[in-house]
Structure 1
Amino acid sequence: MELQQMRYVIAVAETNSFTRAAQRCLVVQSALSHQIARLEKELGARLFERTSRRVRLTPAGAAFLPSARQCLDAAERAAAEVAASVGEVSGRLAVGLIPTVAAVDIPAVLKDFHQRHPKARISLSVGASDELVERVRQGEIEVAFLGIPVTARPRGVMARELARERLVAVVAPDHPLAGETSVDLRRLSSEVFVDLPAKTAGRAQSDLAFTAAGLTREVAFEVTNADYLARLVGAGLGVALLPPAYVAGMTGMVTIEVTEAPARAEFVVWGRESRTPAAAAFLELLGVEEE
């Protein structure tokens, strides 16, 4: 069993196509197919079901995939540790973040990191805070930036709070509230809202504030993408509660201060296990030391 065979299996599983997997791995399709067939023969089980329309993992393939990823990660980490021993940071740095990170200028930090460590490969993924914490716990990403209620704290990971801020109301210029300089939660409770999906950390900040005030509100539109959320607000479909630093980068919106506004805390989190050289260098750049 060879690492390259594992790379081919992962590529096919992620693309659902031998053709696209071969393109990703920069090999001809026949070579990729041959190597996977050799591996299947060695394992005594087919890893993929192949039809003229689609390719998908068999139960054996689904069982093989997590361990294959772990083997490749271990091999890459071994190479990165050797490079680090001679003063060179390489390997993968996988960073996750919520769309509304405001405490850190992510592009600026990544630019600085890349200039210092050009041989490190950086991947970014955007998601909800709860999802990102779980991915850090599972080792899928090394570092993540979250936004959660101030009463909460990330569990199962190392964490450092970066900032706290109170949300502001955001409306379209022609909204009835657009002329107000401030508004309280009771007045807002009569409005229709655009918000993140229920039970997410980003949504919980606002839900908790209204519940604590003994109020309810109508969330008519649930959106997973913060940019699209802003577009719906701009179209006049409802009110949103967003971090002021994030709103500062938006155009064509009206921002209103909120009395007893929901608050959120921004965190950077990383795994409890030993960090990769790239993750350690990135956290050092952020001024974060292991607790």
Structure 2
Amino acid sequence: MDTNTNAVESGASQAGDVQVCPICAAAGAKAMYTLPRFELLVCPHCTHLFSDLKVTPEAYDADYFLESNSDHWDNPEDVLFDKLDGLIQTYLPRQRAGLRTLDVGTATGYLPRHFGSLGYESWGVDISEAAVRHGTETLGIPRLEAANIETFIPDEPFPVVTNIYVIEHIADPIPFLEGIRRSVSDDGVFICMTVDSDSLIFKVSKFLYRVSGGRSFGALERICEVHHLNHFNRRSLEYALDRAGFEVIYRFSQNLPLRTLTLRPLQRLAVAVLYGLSPLFDSWFLQGVVCRPKPD
């Protein structure tokens, strides 16, 4: 997925042998799921789930964007992008023409390209120089910049900032969100989307792990992925946003389109079945929020 991250070797901060939650900084997080390449820890205070890697973290190089995750990049989510446009028009009803937007973790720039086609003055930043170069030189998408949002200083704040499927990749989400807060105008909106660790798919994967005594870990490992360091539920996402200076004004949920996922046939069938059950349980793989900056 998209990323703008300075991932370190673990999603967990460590003080001696004490695991510290990257969201609320509480000590005492416990390993609940032990997998070959990482452990999943749960914070007793904010219930956040996060990874402690046993392997080298993902390298966000050209291969990540153009090869190993090509199914995602080859299928830009235009329906979602139109939905984001609708949310912007609902919560920031201004003329699209010239309205400045910033996509953080833009990868090769598909969202800025789509917003640009709607009339926005769309910008994008990503830590991957390879992804930005591909978007700029090969796809011809303007206003993309290789930058780290923690240190990115825009000429002026943006009325609209988006962050789609990125925050789960970030080792230390609070400084990342604080960097986004500095990039959003005081009367603007911030739209964030990430995986929901309380979703039906996540719950089934956890159940398979527990009922097998940890032997059936494949589904949980596939969902969490080595490059996903933080696995937010609704409570922990809102907690992180609040700490960074945002208030949630609207929530929405949906599933990630199957065509964007790199899956084997049986995996695709299993995901399709669980997707079909999502409306029945009102449990969706992805959670999204629209936020406003809190008054100083």
Normalised-by-shorter TM-score class: under 0.3
Give the TM-score normalised by structure 2: 0.22
